[in-house]
Amino acid sequence: GAVVSQHPSRVICKSGTSVKIECRSLDFQATTMFWYRQFPKQSLMLMATSNEGSKATYEQGVEKDKFLINHASLTLSTLTVTSAHPEDSSFYICSARDSGGSQTEAFFGQGTRLTVV
């Protein structure tokens, strides 16, 4: 299957700092990428849909100014958690849809475990 690389896999940061997470599609182009958040023993919660060259679409309750999304190319989307607080600690996962493939398939990155201390 297609490969989505997410970096870093684990990050610890101090409260008040910002953290950037990258999501790259390695062998396909992705006009659409998705950012999820997953709490322990819970399912994935969609945060936003990232579209190449345009503004991301955020789900209700997700702060746009806190979770900045940039999808500047067909293979890269970034999520920046600004002014991070301990309650932002979570597992963040991106997924990407192959623009040239089935619209029903989305491939996931390995996830990023963010810990804010």
Partner 1 sequence: QKEVEQDPGPLSVPEGAIVSLNCTYSNSAFQYFMWYRQYSRKGPELLMYTYSSGNKEDGRFTAQVDKSSKYISLFIRDSQPSDSATYLCAIQKNFNKFYFGSGTKLNVKP
Report the interface residues with partner 1, using CB under 8 A: 1, 4, 6, 32, 34, 41-44, 46, 49, 91, 93, 95, 97, 103-111, 113
- Residue by residue, DSSP assigns 23-54 as EEESSS--SEEEEEEE-TTS-EEEEEEEETTS
CB of 16 to partner 1, least distance (A): 26
CB of 83 to partner 1, least distance (A): 26
Rounded (10°) CA dihedral 25, 26, 31, 33:
-10
Residue number, 19 or 106, with CB nearest to partner 1: 106
Rounded (10°) CA dihedral 100, 2, 109, 32:
0
CB of 65 to partner 1, least distance (A): 23
Cα 109 to the chain's mean position, in Å?
A: 9
Residue number, 38 or 82, with CB nearest to partner 1: 38
Residue number, 2 or 13, with CB nearest to partner 1: 2
